[in-house]
């Protein structure tokens, strides 16, 4: 057991998960925090180049959306050795999110369930935050909304602050996103984005299963894939959390993340790559916590992977460790 895990099991995990995440945000937004996180930075000897949306990156590991929703701690995260960071998900207007409690941990299998529902400060305040930085790590912005015009507006407003976008239609905690689960609405969103396109973008799709992919899910994914292919979308992120019921959460349901998702993520990547045959950047998200898993996913056809829940269970040294082991 690492020292980080020992401290987490005995102290941090005794408190409410969102309270700890908020405390961490306060600590990491301090101007001295980058000195602290630079203790975990990846050495220049441990660089594994990859390309995502034609951008050369120093590592296939990225920080997944939702960790820094308000782009308030990017300066500290910049030091950790990610190939890129996904900021957001940002919406046009500030949102409080769902009622609390809205995160719960399952320490026995390194997973958690959240029902946050996009709490964020809204694009205006987030642009103020982004304007303060001069980051070394490339940034992708995750954007979402209730309508096509919300999303295209965000795309235009944030274009100067990132090298590309992740369009999030995947969160299980935001009812209005279901609008984009209609194939026509989804294709109209992509066509509207293509009309104003100045930066590449990936689509983050929902997760329809937790273990093997069943036939029904395959048919749904293939319909989405065909739309991405017909409209020259630059990349695909597979996938978000898996919807589950959980009475600890005020709203009674949320999205499961962490270790139990890994096998499904692997099946999804392999299935998507059979369709796209290495002609699209596919990024894996869900349950990834070791260098062996990263290698396995790259072999299945992923161009890169994203981490979230494993950082809570393994700590900030995880990125440095995986980067080193990948060589």
Ligand X SMILES: Cc1cc2nc3c(=O)[nH]c(=O)nc-3n(C[C@H](O)[C@H](O)[C@H](O)COP(=O)(O)O)c2cc1C
User: Taking contact as CB under 6 A, which single stretch among the options 151-159, 221-229, 292-300, 302-310 is the one that binds ligand X?
Assistant: 302-310
Find the shortest distance in angstroms from Cβ 279 to ligand X.
23
Residues 142-201 that bind ligand X (CB under 6 A): 142, 168, 170-171
Q: What is the dihedral of CA 74, 79, 85, 90, to 10 degrees?
A: -10
The neighbouring-strand residues paired with 238 are 284
Among 50, 59, 240, 303, the residue binding ligand X under the rule CB under 6 A is 240
CA distance 294 to 202: 20
Tell the smallest beta-carbon distance from residue 198 to ligand X (Å): 22
Pick from 88, 75, 7, 85: nearest CA to 37: 75
Q: What spatial distance separates the first Cα and last Cα of the chain, rounded to whole Å?
A: 24
In angstroms, the CA 143 to CA 162 distance is: 12
Nearest distance from residue 262's CB to ligand X, in Å? 8
Instruction: Name residues contacting ligand X, limited to 101-130 (CB under 6 A).
Output: 103, 112, 114, 116, 118
User: Per-residue x/- marks for ligand X, 46-85, CB under 6 A?
Assistant: ------------------xxx--x----------------
State in angstroms the smallest separation of the CB of 240 from ligand X. Answer: 5
> Bridge partners of 281?
235
Residues 245-284 that bind ligand X (CB under 6 A): 257-258, 261
C-alpha span between 211 and 256 (Å, rounded): 13
Residue 159's φ and ψ, nearest 5 degrees, are: -55, -35
DSSP state of 207: P
Number of CB atoms found within 10 A of residue 55's CB: 15
Cβ 59 to ligand X shortest distance, Å: 16
**CB of 112 or CB of 123, closer to ligand X:** 112
Chain residues in the site for ligand X (CB under 6 A):
64-66, 69, 89, 103, 112, 114, 116, 118, 142, 168, 170-171, 204, 240-241, 257-258, 261, 285-288, 307-310
């Amino acid at each position: 057991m690492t020292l980080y895990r020992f401290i987490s099991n005995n102290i941090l995990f005794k408190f409410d998960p969102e309270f700890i995440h908020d405390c961490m945000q306060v600590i990491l937004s301090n101007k001295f925090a980058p000195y602290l996180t630079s203790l975990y930075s990846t050495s220049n000897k441990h660089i594994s180049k990859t390309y995502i949306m034609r951008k050369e990156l120093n590592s296939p590991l990225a920080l997944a959306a939702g960790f820094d929703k308000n782009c308030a701690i990017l300066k500290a995260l910049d030091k950790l050795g990610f190939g890129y960071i996904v900021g957001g998900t940002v919406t046009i207007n500030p949102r409080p999110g769902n009622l609390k409690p809205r995160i719960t941990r399952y320490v026995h299998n390194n997973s958690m369930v959240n029902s946050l529902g996009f709490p964020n400060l809204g694009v205006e305040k987030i642009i103020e935050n982004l304007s303060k930085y001069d980051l070394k790590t490339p940034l992708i912005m995750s954007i979402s909304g209730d309508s096509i015009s919300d999303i295209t507006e965000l795309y235009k407003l944030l274009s100067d602050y990132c090298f590309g976008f992740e369009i999030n239609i995947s969160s299980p905690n935001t009812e209005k996103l279901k609008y984009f689960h209609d194939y026509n609405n989804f294709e109209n969103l992509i066509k509207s984005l293509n009309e104003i396109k100045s930066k590449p973008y990936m689509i983050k799709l929902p997760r329809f299963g937790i273990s093997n992919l069943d036939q029904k899910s395959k048919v749904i994914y293939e319909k989405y894939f065909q739309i991405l292919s017909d409209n020259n979308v630059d990349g695909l992120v597979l996938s978000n959390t898996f919807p589950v019921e959980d009475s600890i959460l005020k709203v009674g349901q949320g999205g499961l993340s962490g270790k139990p998702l890994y096998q499904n993520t692997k099946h999804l990547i392999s299935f998507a790559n059979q369709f796209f045959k290495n002609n699209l950047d596919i990024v894996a998200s869900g349950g990834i916590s070791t260098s062996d898993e990263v290698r396995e996913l790259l072999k299945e056809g992923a161009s890169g992977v994203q981490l979230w829940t494993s950082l809570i269970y393994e700590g900030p040294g995880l990125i440095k460790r995986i980067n080193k082991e990948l060589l």
